Structure 1
Amino acid sequence: MGAIDLYAREKPGYDDRLAQAVQTLREAAAAHPGRVVQATSLGAEDMVVTDLIQRHGLPIAIGTLQTGALHAETVALIGRLETHYAPQGLKVEVYEPKNESVITFVRDHGDKAMYDSIALRKACCGIRKLEPLSRMLADRSGWITGLRREQSNSRGGMQRVEADDAGRAKFNPLIEWTWNDVWHYIASHGIPYNPLHDQFMPSIGCAPCTREIAVGEDFRAGRWWWEDENAKECGLHVHQAEAGQG
């Protein structure tokens, strides 16, 4: 039984949440013409956001981070996206970590350093995610995510539109969506998604830091499962003041 069979359900208020998501994306495109990007992790939520952007013909770039440690299924999804949205002319911007930084980190700490300490795991995230993200956002004044409040306690206070640490506008069009909403949309529109979602991986990151979850486990239990719950962010969506507290 796949993710669509397990999760796709139309819940009360879905049409309103969908309309609000589209409106948020329109606001982002209008407020930041030529300077806004969707930073997609290629997870289920981000596939919905990408589809909304393409379906409504919005002038919003699509960018992703190829960390060098992703599952093969995740990497393959980049090409699948471009093929699926070829009529719209989609070309995904791909940002990779600096090769010399990765080589130096692995040489000094090994390729399993993320399991040794939170500090090393976050250093790895810094090299593979944060630095490439900084290049993605360098000339942008706004960016778009697939974040939802339901995903974790640390995301419960996030707003539909907020400012990041650099003062850029950060749009979270699916902030009020449920997991059922996400999969109902995917099923309704036949959009591509990562097949790892069918293997009980609702939240997918780098391969060494992602595992399947068991029945009853938290949505993000498969991410950095060896760490304390309060540490489970890579830094992409954590304000510096909050990061310092962790």
Structure 2
Amino acid sequence: MSLYAPKLWQIPAVSEAEAAQQPAKEQVLAARLQEIAERFPQAVFASSLAVEDMIITDQIARLKLPLRIITLNTGKLNPETAALIDETDSRYRIRIEVFRPDAQAADAFEQEYGSAAMYESVELRRRCCHIRKIEPLNRALAGAPAWLTGQRQSQSETRSGLDFEEHDGARGITKFNPIFDWEDGDVWAYAQAHQVPLNALYRQGYPSIGCEPCTRPVKEGESIRAGRWWWENKDTKECGLHK
């Protein structure tokens, strides 16, 4: 038995250089979001409530852009994540649209495979993700002219090829990643400068936060995505939302 607990990931300290670059990064982000809003009024921003998404929400609210903000309550969120929805609504005086899985489909899956099915195989985990995340997102995006995410290239190897604008072939609409080229320091510099609301789990060693059964804290020095679906290999660590 270990005599000490491993040191967990911590919110990175913002350097003077990163703080100095923050206003310029913010200007670029504002221009990108304004471009999206002009080209695609009522585009949908799908927020996971991660720090990246809170930054984009902060900008949408500041600029009063006509973009819908939605989130997915999968029914498996940590209480800290669920609480952030109401906190964000209150802070920005907006209403995040909450989409939930089809209750009958979610119950049927658990009755057949059990509540721990996601650990049994990649196939079952992805079926769970489809019910709880992909199907609700498809409903949220029905009729939308475009959608936005908070994904970044440096988050993982599976996201290294991201661009600002992409075509979502599965849904037949345009997809934007407004902070695709931001580094960790850029993210935390903005969050600090504007004191954006943050998920309390960030201060408990969680750099990347998903559903409660599929997320855990990571050790200092590990990849920020190491706590997502940690029992799988790195090439399968996506839920299918961004295929």
1:191-210 alignment, distance < 5 Å? 191-210=196-215
Q: How much does 1:127 deviate? A: 0.1
Matched, 1:93 2:97: yes
CA–CA distance in 1 between the matches of 2:10 and 2:173? 34
Say if 1:3 and 1:183, in contact at 8 Å, map to a contact too. no
Q: For the residues of structure 1 that align with 2:36 and 2:164, how far apart are their CA atoms? A: 11
1:146/1:28 CA distance change after superposition, 3 Å: same
Q: Does 1:8 align with 2:31?
A: no
Structure 2 equivalent of residue 221 of structure 1: 226
Structure 2 unaligned regions, length at least 5: 1-7
Q: Percent identity?
A: 44
Identify the match of residue 179 of structure 1 among 178, 184, 188: 184
Give yes or no for the alignment of 1:131 onto 2:135. Answer: yes
- Whether the 8 Å contact between 2:9 and 2:221 is mirrored in structure 1 is no
Aligned-pair CA distance for 1:215: 1.2
Aligned-pair distance for 1:171?
A: 1.1
Assess if the C-alpha contact under 8 Å between 2:229 and 2:237 holds in 1.
yes
Aligned length: 233
Q: Which amino acid aligns with 1:66?
A: N
Could you say which residue in structure 1 is the equivalent of 2:40? 32
**Does 2:27 correspond to 1:19?**
yes
Map of 1:63 onto structure 2:
70
2:145–2:174 CA contact under 8 A, matched in 1: yes
Displacement over 6 Å in runs of 4+: none
**Counterpart of 2:162 in structure 1: which amino acid?**
M
Q: Report the TM-score when normalising by structure 1.
A: 0.91
> TM-score when scaled to structure 2?
0.92
Matches within 5 A, 1:142-153: 142-153=146-157
Q: Where in structure 1 are there 5+ consecutive unaligned residues?
A: 239-246
| Further displaced range: 186-195 or 221-230 | 186-195
Q: Offset at 1:2?
A: 9.4
Q: Deviations along 1:30-64, whole A, 9 cap, x unmatched?
A: 11112x01100000100000001001111111100
Pairing partner for 1:112 from 107, 116, 137:
116
Amino acid at match of 1:80: E
